[in-house]
């Protein structure tokens, strides 16, 4: 199966492409002690502590650990093996570096709403900027990091400790919201996976006047990691054959790399004879690593007559 990245009208270098999709997901937004995750006992009745544990695990890309803090309703949609595989877990020394960086994270609770078995939290956070740390940690190349000899590993950890103690780690800051549900008296993070991602489909025929184009649907709802298929019926009512290119533009642009071609019958220019109608289909995959907060995308088909 050949997968091709869709084009976007801009392709900035994104921290999200390197990690889990958003800094807020890559970095744990909680104040945590200098204790390994495996050594901490989490009070599942304490909503804030559950958020801290979940975010600490996602920061370190320890998704096997993170999964146990996710709601049962979400787990019905995506099992643990699929979740861990899709997100791409760290291991070895890379995992240790992620945990070490989490020691510098700061969070302030801005607003809390608790209603029976649900709770919503708004937080303000300061987190280590992964891009600024990258030169020290081999640009987050996990293969290089995990292959380092003990002396170089110790030097990296020592440098991180020194920067943290001197408050020299460069930080990013922002706000985020979280929702939790209570299950048998214990809190779990609710991600609403069942809602999927809504993808709107649009046609731009400004540069292909005269064509009659119809989509098989104007909207699909996709669970990350799944495939979906779209068909286009193109009618040429003119007296001459028309050759056209059909571009794909994804909005918002900063998540375009998470939508891929699997198979597409109109990736190259297509020609429709005079007075004829042809149907083309495309199969796409929404990556399982799409950021958790993404709920809507737009896929624009940009038609341009070339001949």
Give pLDDT tens digits for 208-256: 988 999 999 999 999 888 889 999 999 999 999 999 999 999 999 999 9
Domain residue limits, the chain: 14-194, 196-305
Q: How confident is the model at residue 44 (pLDDT cuts 50, 70, 90)?
A: very high
Higher pLDDT, 8 or 258: 258
Strands 212-215 and 259-264: unpaired
pLDDT of residue 2 exceeding 50: no
Separation CA 160–CA 31 (nearest Å): 17
Strands 227-235 and 219-222: unpaired
Q: How confident is the model at residue 42 (pLDDT cuts 50, 70, 90)?
A: confident
pLDDT of residue 114 exceeding 70: yes
Q: How many CB atoms lie within 10 A of CB 161?
A: 13
Separation CA 5–CA 8 (nearest Å): 9
Looking at residue 210, the DSSP 8-state letter turns out to be T
What digits encode the pLDDT tens for the residues 283-306? 999 998 898 889 999 999 999 999
pLDDT of residue 135 exceeding 90: yes
Residues 57 and 65: beta-carbon distance below 8 Å = yes
The hierarchical CATH code for the domain 196-305 is 2.60.370.10
**Structure-block tokens of residue 85:** 């595989």
Separation CA 51–CA 183 (nearest Å): 15
């Amino acid at each position: 199966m050949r997968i091709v990245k869709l084009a976007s009208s801009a392709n900035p270098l994104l921290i999200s492409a390197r990690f889990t999709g958003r800094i807020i997901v890559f970095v744990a937004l909680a104040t945590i002690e200098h204790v390994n995750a495996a050594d901490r006992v989490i009070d599942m009745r304490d909503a804030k502590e559950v958020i801290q544990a979940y975010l600490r695990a996602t920061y370190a890309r320890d998704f096997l650990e993170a999964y146990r803090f996710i709601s049962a309703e979400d787990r019905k949609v995506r099992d643990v093996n699929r979740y861990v595989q899709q997100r791409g877990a760290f291991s070895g020394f890379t995992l240790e570096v992620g945990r070490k960086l989490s020691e510098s994270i700061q969070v302030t609770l801005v607003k809390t709403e608790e209603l029976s078995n649900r709770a919503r939290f708004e937080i303000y956070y300061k987190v280590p900027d992964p891009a600024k740390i990258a030169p020290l940690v081999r640009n987050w190349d996990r293969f290089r990091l995990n292959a380092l000899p003990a002396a170089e590993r110790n030097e990296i950890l020592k440098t991180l400790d020194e920067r943290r103690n001197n408050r020299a780690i460069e930080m990013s800051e922002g706000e985020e919201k979280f929702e939790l549900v209570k299950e048998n008296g214990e809190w779990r993070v609710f991600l609403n996976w069942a809602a999927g991602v809504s993808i709107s489909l649009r046609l731009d025929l400004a540069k292909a006047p005269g064509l009659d184009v119809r989509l098989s649907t104007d909207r699909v709802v996709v669970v990350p990691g799944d495939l979906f298929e779209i068909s286009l019926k193109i009618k040429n009512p003119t007296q001459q054959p028309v050759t056209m290119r059909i571009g794909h533009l994804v909005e918002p642009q900063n998540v375009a790399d998470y939508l891929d071609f699997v198979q597409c019958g109109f990736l190259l220019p297509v020609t429709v004879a005079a007075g004829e109608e042809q149907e083309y289909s495309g199969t796409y995959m929404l990556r399982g690593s799409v950021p958790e907060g993404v709920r809507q995308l737009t896929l624009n088909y940009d038609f341009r007559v070339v001949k």
